[in-house]
Amino acid sequence: MADNNSYDADDIQVLKGLEGVRKRPAMYIGDTGKKGLHHLIFEVLDNSVDEAMGGFANLIKVTLNTDNSVTIFDNGRGIPIDLHPEYKKPAVEVIMEHLHSGGKFDKKSYKISGGLHGVGLSVVNALAEWLEVEVCKDGSQYTQRFSKGLKASEPTIQKATIKESYTKITFYPDNSIFDFDGSQKIFNKAIISNRVRELAFLTPQARFEIIDKYKDEKEEYFFEGGIKEFISYLNKDKQPLHDDIIFISDSYEEEKDEIIYCDIAMQYNQGYQTNILTYANTINTIEGGVHLTGFKTALTRTFNSYIENFMEKKYKEHVLSGSDTREGLSAVVSVKLPDPQFESQTKIKLGNPEVRQVISQVVSDKLTQYLEENPDTAKKIVLKTINAKLAREAALKARQLIRRKSALDSARMPGKLADCSSNNPEESEIFIVEGPSAGGSAKQGRDRTYQAILPLRGKILNVEKARLDKILHNKEIQSIIKALGVGIQDLNHANGMNGDNENEADNGDTEETFDLSRLRYHKVIIMCDADIDGFHIETLLLTFFFRYMRPLIDEGNLYVAVPPLYKISYKKDKTYVYSDLEKERMIDSLKIKYKLKNTQSVKVQRYKGLGEMNPEELYITTMNRETRKLKRVTYEDFIENDLVFSKLMGKEVKARKKFIINHFDEVSTLDI
């Protein structure tokens, strides 16, 4: 015991080179899951974009190779390959093997850059099973291989066959760091496409290509209109409130050669959701920061000022809050500055205090000018913000009414809820089931100890097409809110899509109503029919949870059940399968097993709805913890499967099949 309690100089370790990155990778890339895996690509890609922002590159390519490696190419100046004066070896080696090495610590090589910490390439190198760098520069072609942060070969230098310069980096992630099966495709093209597309909007001077060698496909992204085209893309399935896109562009010189550039594009639509995307040096600051706060503050101040100075007397009594001015707004806020301060290497939040004031002043001045020059558009927007204020006040009254009812009637749950006997939220789970028929089977087949059932009647309200006051009056949504016990959190109106806590007083009643610690079931499971109506209802439910109970997704409490599509029976064999392909394989397997001349005697039952299963079947296939298939819903699912909420404004049902079908990379049969 005494030895275990000792603590002296021998216990102090000093990690050399890139050992620290391999020891604590999440510190540099966020995590070692899917997000961190793709972050490796984006670290290399950001360097290529820096070349484009500096005017040195106009072509950037990302290639997904068939061996699961990735190649990133740009036709910029090329990484320096001459000898470093201090380390006496090629500069590219220094960059690959040493943290905090690079050309972005002063303003000589890059005025503006996203990769500013000097750790991007070295971190990718440290976390790669192997990495190859190829540089063409000054008439020479330089090639070298690295492995797990260390040099694996001496450089090969030969005369270049072309005059142009370029950098090409190919790497394969280290399987001992990241959890993946190398025999399957490990990178998700949709995630990469989303990032490359937004980079193309933000870097209109460069053409981007994604080459997928698995499918022999190529995507190209080039947007001369920049972030104005970005807004058109964001609003492509929405009905704009005004035709023109408001575009604000300005710069502010803080010190000599230190200029802050800000570009903002915005357009209101007739919906109720807010979508504000913020960027600093093309880095997507998903948690916002000072530029978002400055934008929000200026927006509220400007519209209140316009009402006071230009609107008719009957409107002057209205004082808008921040959420009122953002309802139905799609906006892109992009700043470029010499020395951005991010919270971490993952760069999710901007912290430069001077940027807030710059953005706030620019938006106030330019937006005021636009509103004065376009009075018709200004009035449309202002009337929408006033209606949003009135709806917010109505929602507040509805919410207070729900609170009073809950306080007086706290012992009673929704009448349709079949609760479980356990009072331990950690072991309890609730199935939100489509329709009374499936609800009846689920109630009979469940394990009453820890499984609760909440059947819904038909399709819930489409929250994309309704304001909060109407949502709170919907009986099905009320049942969900009361059963879960956490309240609701209107992240959209409080913070925009990549929120930030602004100092201004907002609606004052959003955050305090949501308390995840009150969650009565730690697994909330959506269980819908495996048909087109089931997909529709599931999409509506997912949208509601994303908009108003987002922490359930972020904390991993929300799941989707995957019921089987078919039961295949022959003699005593009963097998449940989850796709048409599996059905054909199973029938062929039975034909071989029993030496059948034909398969007419094999019985195939298609489950069009959960209600067609008897309670025992439903429990075995979809509810039993040992045999069921559950998909944990994550934010990435919405991106990867293109669950674009704006599609809920129209005929979204057909596009939703993909979301459910792609829940599992590999779906296996269930033999009973």
Q: Catalytic amino acids?
A: 434, 529, 531, 533
- Cα dist from 141 to 62, 163, 166, 328, 502, whole Å: 20, 10, 9, 52, 51
Q: How far is CA 377 from the centre of its chain?
A: 32
How long a stretch of residues is the chain?
672
Contact 539, 652 (CB under 8 A): yes
Pairing of strands 429-434, 523-527: parallel
Contact 199, 48 (CB under 8 A): no
Q: Which of 230, 199, 241 is nearest to 114 (CA)?
A: 199
Q: Dihedral (C-alpha) 50, 280, 26, 642: value to the nearest 10 degrees?
A: -100
Strands of 213-352 (E only): list them.
Answer: 217-221, 246-255, 258-268, 275-280, 283-284, 329-336
Q: Is 357 helix (H, G, I), strand (E, B) or coil?
A: helix
Contact 318, 307 (CB under 8 A): yes
Distance between CA atoms of residues 98 and 503, nearest Å: 40
Q: Which residues make Cβ contacts (< 8 Å) with residue 595, sequence separation at least 6?
A: none
Burial of 399 from C-beta contacts in 10 A (0-12 / 13-18 / 19+) = buried
Burial of 238 from C-beta contacts in 10 A (0-12 / 13-18 / 19+) = buried
Strands of 444-538 (E only): list them.
Answer: 451-456, 523-527
DSSP 596-647: -S-STTSEEEE-SSGGGS-HHHHIIIII-TTT--EEE--HHHHHHTT--GGG
